[in-house]
């Protein structure tokens, strides 16, 4: 792989703008190469050197270090060996580096002068950014050091309330440091396994970049070994242990200025805040609190160690990039063609399930046509009973397939979705894994449909009506068992992550709102028909005569009432999440967002009322409110969720920064979003398309909303990623266990 592509692939996505612009510098080198190829005068290099030196002899006094450390004489032989002179200057209180090109008197020297000026700009940009991030890390290290002081004192109080004499228990400090840093050591060992994320890939693969021949005589193997030893040299465990050996533990009086941090992370803490209950921030010296503090500190050290790795990667990659670009400059006449990057394709297991799925779809179509099922007397009965049961799996499979495509394009356009969602490092599912789950569920659902139809039509098994009708229920139970399976198989980490986010969404606003929570709640708002299918499962198998494929659900007042409630639940949860953020973050925009979901709830209820009752008044109300809700939601999608429709942007009506080069993709997505937003018009006006059954039209409308959500997902996360990149947010904040009171410092 070419270095430029490998360099871009190993960048921290949120810091992309802070890396050296390798591609642009390479274009400047191409300009120099093009000039050299068409200039015959450059063949006489000694003559050019003499002209250059004669010009610079008269300006030798200018070539002096700004700091007065030393100067260079342009007439000396060293100038011929070193055509550039680099010095540091202090401007506006900040140190910068400037390169003086000593050969600009040569013909074509202006091209190289432009190159070195841009090279200086890039180096100063990288240097400034790196210094700022190091300062942040040093500040955090100081904070963690204070947290460790409080933790040590806390442990003393737990193990020995009477206090501990410092000389007798010093050996425990080393043991404590090892315990706190154990998780970071595990992280360092597990980073190669999590190479799917960009942040870990940069550390894992940076040693395989081909640097070409060495400039200073060092072998490539020596360079790689040196870099590897530098990266793997001192682990965080050793740093923490040595730090605590050298540092005398703070006295127990430090606990007088420390309180427990309360992050409002549980329903109980939220309810206490609403009831204005006094906060229990005083320290309680017991084993339970000790373990809680220890776990928080471990998480903080793991994240801190990850920051160090990212900074190390950033430094190494940029140094390597500058070295590479300078080698290209030194050898501008010889550029080798690079080998194509080979994508590792290991999808044989995926092809198996996909092939089974397509085969079963074809078999299902053939059975329906061969046996004239749709023309059978019981066709309407089948569509009103069995079709809603099986359509549930269709909605889920469609949504997961679209999510897999989102993951594919997020990776292709370098959207750091793993960091945005907060997946545990190395456990996020790729698009192949998501497709595997999707096709696996599709195979089970289609096989269930085929077995149901076959048993119904076969004279030998058609008497087992109770068993044939219970097949979809068995499949639902299997899916739920797999979802809650505690064994470490079938992507347990991802399953539990999904369940936790689902639990938080259902109990909104009792939990603090995180991005994965409200992102999942938004997904659920597009699965209204799936929720109604689950409601139908309960009614059909609970109160319906499923043995004879009969049900009275649609004429049941309780069922119809719950049709409203079930459809509203995801929008209600989303509205409560917005209200919590409005009151907690004082963000007015979240209040408007809550109002948007409230209007949608009203529109959904009116459309449901119209579908159940019919009548002109219901139709007019449903139409007016639904149009209003659709217009508001469409505007919110495009302006706030996607960050588009910016009139004064460099890309008119789009954003200043776009990940996709073709602007037509964004305009097409906006038009598609508007069209699919108004797909509900069929519900109000009851369009007759190809004389399709009512259940078929409901399924098509629900599928269009799922497709709209799949398109929305990509641009929503793209906008989130660009906001993170604009603010250089590549780390997640980890709550610390202690809160220091700084009143005494303020008084001083």
Q: Is residue 739 part of a domain?
A: no
258: alpha, beta or left? (left if phi > 0; alpha if psi -120 to 50): beta
Shared domain for 371 and 326, answered yes or no, is: no
Q: Is residue 664 part of a domain?
A: yes
Shared domain for 555 and 700, answered yes or no, is: yes
Domain's final residue, options 276, 305, 333: 333
Shared domain for 81 and 146, answered yes or no, is: no
Distance of CA 574 to the CA centre of its chain: 20
For 74-102, what is the mean pLDDT?
65
The CA-based angle 142-144-145, given to 5 degrees, is 60
Residue 200 in this model has a pLDDT that exceeds 70: no
According to the model, what pLDDT value does residue 660 have? Answer: 93
Q: Is 437 in contact with 491 (CB distance < 8 Å)?
A: yes
Greater model confidence, 481 or 57: 481
Using one digit for the tens of pLDDT, what is the confidence trace for 639-660?
Answer: 999 999 998 899 989 999 999 9
Q: Is 270 in contact with 510 (CB distance < 8 Å)?
A: yes
pLDDT band at 21 (very low <50, low <70, confident <90, very high): very high
pTM for the structure as a whole? 0.70
Q: Is 642 in contact with 657 (CB distance < 8 Å)?
A: no
Shared domain for 257 and 383, answered yes or no, is: no
In the 8-state DSSP scheme, what is residue 637?
I
Shared domain for 98 and 156, answered yes or no, is: no
Q: Is residue 737 part of a domain?
A: no
Domain region containing 65: 3-118
According to the model, what pLDDT value does residue 524 have? Answer: 96
Domain's final residue, options 308, 333, 358: 333
Q: Is residue 342 part of a domain?
A: no
- CB atoms near residue 359 (< 10 Å): 12
Shared domain for 426 and 570, answered yes or no, is: yes
Among 24, 626, 705, which residue's Cα sits nearest to residue 395? 705
According to the model, what pLDDT value does residue 372 have? Answer: 55
Domain's final residue, options 333, 359, 384: 333
Total structural domains in the chain?
Answer: 3
According to the model, what pLDDT value does residue 740 have? Answer: 73
The CA-based angle 123-128-129, given to 5 degrees, is 100
Among 696, 406, 441, which residue's Cα sits nearest to residue 523? 406
Q: Is residue 504 part of a domain?
A: yes
Q: Is residue 472 part of a domain?
A: yes
Shared domain for 600 and 458, answered yes or no, is: yes
- CA torsion, ordered 234, 237, 238, 242, to nearest 10 deg: 140
Shared domain for 315 and 227, answered yes or no, is: yes
| 571: Cβ contacts below 8 Å, ≥ 6 apart | 525, 597, 600, 601, 604
Shared domain for 314 and 352, answered yes or no, is: no
Span between the terminal Cα atoms of the chain, in Å: 59
Shared domain for 168 and 76, answered yes or no, is: no
Q: Which residue is associated with the tokens 């347990």?
A: 492
Q: Is residue 511 part of a domain?
A: yes
Using one digit for the tens of pLDDT, what is the confidence trace for 599-646?
Answer: 999 999 998 888 878 788 888 998 999 999 999 999 999 999 999 999
For 310-322, what is the mean pLDDT?
81
Shared domain for 574 and 529, answered yes or no, is: yes
């Amino acid at each position: 792989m070419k270095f430029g592509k490998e360099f871009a692939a190993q960048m921290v996505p949120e810091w992309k703008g802070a890396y050296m612009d390798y591609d642009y510098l390479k274009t400047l080198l191409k300009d120099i190469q093009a000039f050299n190829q068409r200039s015959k005068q450059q063949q006489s290099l000694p003559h050019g050197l003499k002209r250059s030196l004669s010009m610079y002899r008269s300006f030798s006094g200018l070539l002096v270090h700004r700091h007065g450390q030393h100067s260079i004489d342009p007439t000396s032989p060293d100038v011929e060996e070193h055509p550039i002179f680099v010095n540091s200057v202090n401007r506006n209180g900040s140190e910068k580096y400037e390169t003086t090109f000593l050969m600009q008197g040569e013909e074509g020297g202006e091209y190289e002068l432009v190159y070195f000026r841009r090279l200086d700009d890039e180096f100063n940009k990288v240097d400034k950014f790196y210094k700022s991030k190091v300062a942040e890390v040093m500040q955090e290290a100081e904070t963690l050091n204070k947290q460790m002081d409080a933790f040590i004192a806390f442990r003393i109080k737990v193990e020995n309330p009477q206090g501990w004499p410092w000389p007798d228990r010093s050996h425990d400090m080393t043991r404590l440091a090892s315990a706190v840093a154990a998780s970071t050591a595990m992280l360092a060992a597990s980073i190669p396994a999590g190479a799917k994320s960009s942040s870990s890939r940069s550390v894992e693969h940076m040693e395989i970049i081909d640097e070409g021949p060495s400039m200073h005589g060092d072998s490539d193997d020596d360079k790689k070994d040196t870099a590897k030893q530098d990266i793997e040299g001192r682990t965080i465990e050793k740093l923490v242990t040595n730090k605590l050996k050298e540092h005398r533990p703070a006295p127990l009086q430090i606990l007088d200025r420390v309180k427990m941090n309360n992050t409002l992370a549980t329903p109980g803490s939220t309810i206490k805040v609403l009831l204005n209950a006094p906060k229990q921030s005083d320290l309680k010296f017991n084993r339970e609190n000790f373990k809680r503090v220890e776990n928080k500190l471990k998480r903080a050290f793991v994240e801190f160690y990850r920051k160090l790795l990212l900074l190390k990667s950033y430094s190494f990659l940029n140094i390597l990039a500058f070295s590479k670009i300078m080698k290209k400059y030194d050898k501008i006449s010889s550029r080798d063609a690079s080998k194509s990057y080979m994508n590792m394709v290991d999808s044989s297991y995926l092809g198996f399930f996909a092939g089974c799925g397509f085969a079963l779809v074809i078999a299902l179509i053939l059975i329906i046509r061969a046996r004239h099922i749709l023309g059978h007397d019981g066709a309407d009965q089948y569509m009103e009973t069995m079709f809603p049961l099986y359509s549930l799996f269709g909605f889920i499979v469609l949504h997961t397939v679209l999510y897999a495509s989102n993951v594919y394009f997020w990776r292709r356009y370098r959207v750091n979705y793993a960091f945005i969602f907060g997946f545990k490092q190395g456990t996020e599912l790729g698009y192949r894994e998501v497709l595997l789950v999707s096709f696996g569920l599709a195979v089970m659902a289609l096989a269930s449909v085929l077995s149901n139809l076959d048993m119904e039509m076969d004279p030998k098994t058609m008497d087992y009506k109770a068993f044939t009708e219970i097949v979809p229920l068995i499949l639902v139970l299997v899916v739920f068992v797999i979802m809650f399976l505690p064994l470490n198989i079938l992507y347990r980490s991802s399953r539990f992550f999904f369940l936790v986010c689902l639990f938080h969404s259902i109990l909104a606003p009792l939990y603090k709102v995180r991005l994965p929570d409200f992102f999942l709640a938004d997904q659920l708002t597009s699965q209204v028909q799936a929720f109604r299918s689950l409601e139908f499962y309960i009614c059909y198998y609970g109160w319906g005569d499923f043995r004879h494929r009969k049900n009275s659900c649609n004429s049941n007042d309780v069922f119809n009432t719950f049709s409203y409630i079930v459809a509203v639940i995801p929008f209600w949860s989303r509205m409560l999440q917005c209200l919590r953020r409005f009151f907690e973050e004082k963000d007015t925009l979240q209040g408007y967002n809550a109002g948007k979901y409230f209007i949608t709830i009203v529109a959904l209820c009116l459309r449901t009322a119209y579908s159940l009752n019919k009548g002109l008044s219901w139709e007019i109300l449903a139409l007016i409110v639904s149009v209003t809700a659709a217009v508001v939601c469409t505007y919110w999608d495009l302006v706030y969720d996607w960050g588009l429709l910016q009139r004064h942007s460099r890309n008119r009506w789009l954003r200043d920064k776009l990940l996709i080069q073709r602007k037509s993709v964004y305009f097409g997505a906006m038009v598609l979003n508007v069209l699919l937003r108004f797909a509900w018009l069929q519900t109000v006006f009851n369009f007759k398309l190809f004389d399709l059954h009512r259940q078929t039209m409901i399924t098509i409308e629900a599928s269009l909303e799922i497709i709209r959500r799949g398109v929305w997902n990509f641009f929503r996360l793209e906008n989130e990623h660009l906001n993170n990149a604009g603010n250089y947010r590549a780390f997640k904040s980890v709550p610390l266990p202690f809160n220091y009171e700084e009143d005494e410092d303020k008084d001083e």
